Chains A and B, each alone.
Chain A
Amino acid sequence: KQEVTQIPAALSVPEGENLVLNCSFTDSAIYNLQWFRQDPGKGLTSLLLIQSSQREQTSGRLNASLDKSSGRSTLYIAASQPGDSATYLCAVPNDSWGKLQFGAGTQVVVTP
């Protein structure tokens, strides 16, 4: 059974620093990996989707890498801003139906 782990559970950085969020998964036979952002009391916003054939994906200040062989993905957020404060979750599909197995998330606080 696929297990997804995110470390650390919480992270606090001063504004302007780069953020590095880690995600690991136990079964390397994944279709893709998705990173989400969740603000308090809200739903999930999709940030990046990396297909299994890709090594990385970029969108603005966000860059996500994928190393299937080691079962790891990293989300980098450059030059963090207070508006980046949120919980970040990674998820991988359990099967071809796209049923997602989530990590517990990393709660990020960016202080002004």
Chain B
Amino acid sequence: DAMVIQNPRYQVTQFGKPVTLSCSQTLNHNVMYWYQQKSSQAPKLLFHYYDKDFNNEADTPDNFQSRRPNTSFCFLDIRSPGLGDAAMYLCATRAENQPQHFGDGTRLSIL
């Protein structure tokens, strides 16, 4: 049973057209993370939530925003996608002192 669910699995958008990626969890974990993974590279943390407290990484571009309306859902908004934003976007959750659980990711392509 999938515990961290990301939709859609594949997303294609146009250069500059806003796009939203979604993540939901059935684990009731209080921490949620968004990572960006480019081809053959390690995942890179964009931001995380501890409950509703939002924490942005210093080098995350302003183009990337996030919303967490409740414990179960978290969204990644890319306001004006550029070609360099094409990547796999991974959502993860965690309870304190427990392993992180990842979703299957959303692969974003920019035309």
Contact = CB atoms under 8 A, between A and B. Distances in A.
B31 to A, nearest CB: 6
Nearest to A44: B102
Chain B contact residues: helix, strand, loop or mixed: strand
A98 B105 contact: no
B45 A44 contact: no
Contacts of A61: none
Given A41-B107, A98-B31, A46 B99 contact: yes
A50 B6 CA distance: 27
Contacts of A32: 97
Contacts of A70: none
Given A41-B107, A43-B6, A43-B90, A100 B45 contact: yes
Interface string B49-69: 010000101000000000000
| Contact-residue bracket for chain A | 20 to 34
Interface residues of B, number: 28
Contact of B101 (A42, A46, A103): A46
A103 B42 contact: yes
Interface of B: 4, 6, 31, 33, 40-45, 48, 50, 55, 57, 88, 90, 92, 94, 97-105, 107
Interface of A: 4, 31-32, 34, 36, 41-46, 49, 51, 89, 97-100, 102-105
Given A36-B102, A41-B105, A97-B55, 13 more contacts: A34-B99, A34-B100, A43-B6, A43-B102, A44-B43, A44-B90, A89-B42, A97-B31, A99-B45, A99-B48, A100-B43, A100-B100, A102-B43
